[in-house]
Structure 1
Amino acid sequence: MRRSGAPSLIISLFVLCGIFLSACGTTTPATNNNGGGSTPAPKTVTLVTDIGGLNDQSFNQSANVGYTKAQNELKFRRQVIESKSQNDYVSNLTRAAQTSDMVIGVGFLMATAMDQVAKANPTKSFALIDSCATDAKGNCDPLKNVAPLSFKEQQAGCLAGVVAGQMELLGKSKLTKLSGNNTIAAVGGLAIPPVDHYLAGYQYCAKKVNPAVTVKINYSQSFDNTAKCQDIANNQISSGKADIIFQVAGGCGVGALQAAKAKGVYSIGVDSDQSKVNDSVITSAIKRVDQAVYLTIKDFEANKFSPNPAPFDLTNDGVGLAGLSSSLPAEIKPVVDKYIADIKSGAITVPDAVQK
């Protein structure tokens, strides 16, 4: 009797292990909807912001919109790292590379840090908004794992300049808030290529529409100090007699919009439609950072990553102009539309350098 009980016990254990197979160390692979095998987990992507942060109401926020859209659609784990200073770039990009398959850096200022981290992590993919990865001498480093996401900001800046120049051309008879001094202004952050591209287009096309207009340009040397931009804009309005303020300074530029509202003049936003930020905004020069981030992540997930993406411009909806305020005369929109058509056709080539 005792010998016959042992085999029964062994058989019972096998049966129990079969019932609780997963508890015995075996896992069942996930299957796809077609029942044709396992579904790979989505690749992970981390967004690293510039110092303006997610609430800059400008390009960092726009980048997050595109990132969030892709994350919701593709269901990868969300990870966003906000940089508080330029000293954070290398550590933030490194941390992102250690925990994800792709890293997207927001902004020209982290170009050298991106070069360093991408070289140290050759199996990871990177994308950088507004710049290529640059070496210590400031030269573009054509790394195979870094996609530079560039924009023709000068085209969007041109359209903002068309609006401002045409407003001054129409004068006080059409726009009673104008002072009659035929002067417009712009507040830039740092004198880096993306900022200067906007300003160059604004300056060039305002003068092309209205050769007599005066365009004043000043830099705040900041993308996050709202008070600096507010002070500059106040001076442009009070001393320079500017009627229209174009801000190209990220979160700092919100101060310029505030100054315009307080002084009762017009303003133009940047990167995203900023009419909801301040009701002095009559339009905004748009840079579709959200679209660039979204499409770059989509391509990466589809194994279509490219280190040589085409620039974003008017022809692919990468830049543009937000809707015009209803307070503006109807004569302005046809002029803007004509410039859009001429830029797309190549009849007008907008310069990307500010004329001193």
Structure 2
Amino acid sequence: MKKVLSMMLVLAFVVSSFALTVTMVSDTGGLGDKSFNDGTWAGVLRAKDELKANVKVLISKEQTDYVTNLSNAAKESDVVIAVGFMMTSALFDVAPQFPRTKFIGIDIAPSQGTTIPSNVALYLFKEQESAFLVGYLSASMTKTGKLGFIGGIEIPPVKRFEFGYRAGIKAYNEIHNKNVEAILGYAGGFGDVAKGKQMAMAQFAQGADIIFHAAGATGNGAFDAAKEKGLSFYGLDANATLKDIIDKYYEKGRGYFAVGVDSDQDYLAPGFGLASAMKRVDTAAFLGIKSSRSARSFKSGVHTLGLKENGVDISPMKYTKGMVSNSTFAELAYLSSLIKQGQVNVPDSEDGLASFDVTSVKFPF
């Protein structure tokens, strides 16, 4: 018995001694953005729980912090998580200097002709696919015929959200012979909640009744605006219950909504957060860390996750599901299946959007 116990203690020591040390380097949105950074951190915490990894985070307050934070993280970590497209140059500068450290880039894509170091795995997403679903949903729900979009900075992943959203609206228009319009705006940053609210209020004033944001913490202001505008429209105070809100929605026949991004943000304004276009950065972070446990399982290069790979999705709509018709949910499910099968290819560019056509889609119900 003593020998068995000794062996178990030795084994436990060996396992703990090989626990991965993981450091996440945030972008300038930092933790608490309720979006991209928080989602990635959730994946890191999952690795802590399931893989017994030792984890920490370094917050980048400015873009000039990226190189320093990545370098400091690499000096003391087995795995470094680099978060966000804006960190691309810094990651490709730092990673070759630390060949024994694995680097996981979230939403980081190499520029054309760039060789990806053997210790770097990049995870990209088909943001346009989840955005397509919330665009179609929003088009089905609008009572004004106008929808809003607020982007942070015009970088590739944000533009893919925009194109997917517009494609969803276009698909709804073609299938249902409607003319829903989109009002587009960019905030120029990801960390200004007040500006996000100001932009949302301006789009509501222009006639939009639903606004999708892809703007990090800036976009959280859209939820503040939707709640403020909605409560005023319903004649309710800040203490109104979800039941009060839903009852007023049916009484008035319309409302004001925000649509979240990256993670399930519906809880930010229950009853006013229609849905969220989820990008499973948590899944990507966890998979990247898990693969880093051995040279055999770690695969450098680019890994792209879409609906088919469960890398993007629409939120469960915990608070607003009862406001949406069963026919709309059925249409979304069918369109989602077509996307997964490759029969509908959601565009990720302006040219692709211009030629996007779903007039051949016929629902089997």
Q: TM-score, normalised by structure 1?
A: 0.83
1:127 corresponds to 2:90: no
Deviation at 1:309, TM superposition (A): 4.8
1:200 maps onto 2:179 in alignment: no
CA positional deviation for 1:76: 2.6
CA contact (8 A) 2:150 2:199 kept: yes
| Structure 1: runs of 5+ lacking an equivalent | 1-27, 169-177
Provide closer, same or farther for how the CA distance between residues 292 and 195 of structure 1 changes in structure 2, counting only shifts above 3 A. same
The DSSP-based 3-state class of the residue aligned with 1:257 is helix
Q: Is the 8 A contact 2:121 2:303 kept in 1?
A: no
Q: Aligned in 2, Cα 1:30/1:332: closer, same or farther, shift over 3 Å?
A: same
Post-superposition shift, 1:329?
A: 2.5
- Kept after mapping to 2: 8 A contact 1:108/1:131: yes
Q: Which amino acid aligns with 1:114?
A: L
Structure 2 counterparts to residues 307-346 of structure 1, below 5 A? 307-324=300-317, 325=320, 326-346=322-342
Retained in 2: the 8 A contact 1:57–1:274?
yes
Aligned to 2:10: 31
Task: Check conservation: 1:133, 1:146, Cα contact below 8 A.
Answer: no
The alignment-based identity, stated in percent, is 36
CA contact (8 A) 1:58 1:271 kept: yes
Root mean square deviation, CA, Å: 2.0
Against the structure 1 CA distance between its residues 29 and 121, is the aligned structure 2 distance closer, same or farther, given a 3 Å change threshold?
farther
Corresponding residue for residue 265 of structure 2: 274
- Which deviates more, 202-211 or 110-119? 202-211
Give the Cα separation in 2 of the matches to 1:91 and 1:288: 27
Q: 1:147 maps to what in 2?
A: 121
TM-superposed deviation, 1:74? 2.1
Q: 1-side partners of 2:113 and 2:153: how far apart? A: 19
The Cα offsets for residues 172-222 of structure 1, whole Å up to 9 and x where unpaired, read as: xxxxxx3x3x11011000000110111100001111112411111110011
Q: How does 1:249-268 map to 2 (within 5 A)?
A: 249-264=215-230, 265-268=256-259
How many angstroms apart in 2 are the aligned matches of 1:259 and 1:202?
20
Which whole-Å deviations, capped at 9, do the CAs of 1:280-304 have from their partners, x for residues lacking one?
A: 1111101011111111111111441
Displacement of 1:59 = 1.1
Deviations 1:292-333 (A, max 9, x none): 111111111144111135311111111010123222233221
Paired AA for residue 194 in structure 1: P
1:305 aligns with 2:304: no
Higher relative helix content: 2
Match of 2:84 among 89, 107, 111: 107
Corresponding residue number in structure 1 for 2:65? 88
1:140: Cα distance to partner? 3.7
Q: Call closer, same or farther: CA 1:29–1:164 in 2, change over 3 Å.
A: closer
Does residue 1:348 correspond to 2:311, yes or no?
Answer: no
Alignment of 1:159-198 (within 5 A): 159-168=133-142, 178=143, 180=144, 182-198=145-161
Q: Which amino acid aligns with 1:32?
A: L
C-alpha distance in 2 between matches for 1:54 and 1:229:
18
Change in CA separation of 1:77 and 1:38 when aligned onto 2, cut-off 3 Å:
closer
Distance in 1 (alpha carbons) for counterparts of 2:199 and 2:278: 23
Q: Report the Cα distance in structure 2 between the residues aligned to 1:52 and 1:95, rounded to whole angstroms.
A: 19
| Deviations 1:50-92 (CA, angstroms, capped at 9, x unpaired) | 1111110001001111100101222232211111111110110
Query: Within 5 Å, which residues of 2 pair with 1:225-244?
Result: 225-238=192-205, 240-244=206-210
What displacement does 1:130 show? 0.6
| 1:186/1:247 contact within 8 Å kept | yes
Higher Cα Rg: structure 1 or 2? 1
Q: Provide Cα deviations, 1:117-153, integer angstroms capped at 9, x if missing partner.
A: 112222221011111355xxx7644221111110000
How many angstroms apart in 2 are the aligned matches of 1:96 and 1:220? 31
Give yes or no for contact 1:106–1:130 (8 Å, CA) kept in 2. Answer: yes
More divergent stretch after superposition (210-219 vs 99-108): 210-219
> 1:48, CA displacement in angstroms?
0.7
Query: Is the contact between residue 247 and residue 257 of structure 1 (CA under 8 Å) also seen in structure 2?
Result: no
